[in-house]
Amino acid sequence: MYVATALASRDGELERRVLLHRERRPAGWGTLELGGGHLASILEDANRWGAVLLDSLTLWVSARMLAGEDEEASLEEFDRFLDGATALATPVILVSDEVGLGIVPQSVAARTFRDRLGLANQRAATAAEQVHLCIAGIGLRVK
């Protein structure tokens, strides 16, 4: 099952990207367009599919921030999701961006986002059996 987390209605350019991605997606893929919704809905349907691909944790964190959810609530929900995902027989793959390798952002909002995503990435990496970093199209196994 492919889980899309983009909130395309807020951004015309992103909306075009989402439409293109929908067109390119294989017809046989089950899709859940979650946006910034609750991650528990992924776990409810996960066993019906051979695998779950959440694309992306970055956009989910961003959507939750834009909705005004505080950091603690987002991380608590994400921790519950990770607990449920690790208990599944179905593989769960998370895609996320690494935002901590560059300069410190100038704005408070950008720093807050970087820190929240960094915490979510750390939690995901701790729970994961494997962690891969992709740089310039080359995958590197980190864990």
Q: What is the CATH classification number for the domain harbouring 90?
A: 3.40.50.300
Structural domain of 52:
2-141
Among the options 2, 15, 18, 21, which is catalytic? 21
Structural domain count, the chain: 1
Tell if the pTM clears 0.85, that is, is over it.
Answer: yes
Residue-wise pLDDT tens digits, 92-139: 999 999 998 989 999 999 999 999 999 999 999 999 999 999 999 999
Q: What is the DSSP letter of 54?
A: E
Q: Which one, of 40, 39, 22, lies nearest residue 31 by Cα?
A: 22
Instruction: Please enumerate in sequence order all residues whose Cβ is within 8 A of that of 60, keeping only pairs 6 or more positions apart, or say none.
Output: 5, 34, 36, 39, 54
Active site residue 132: no
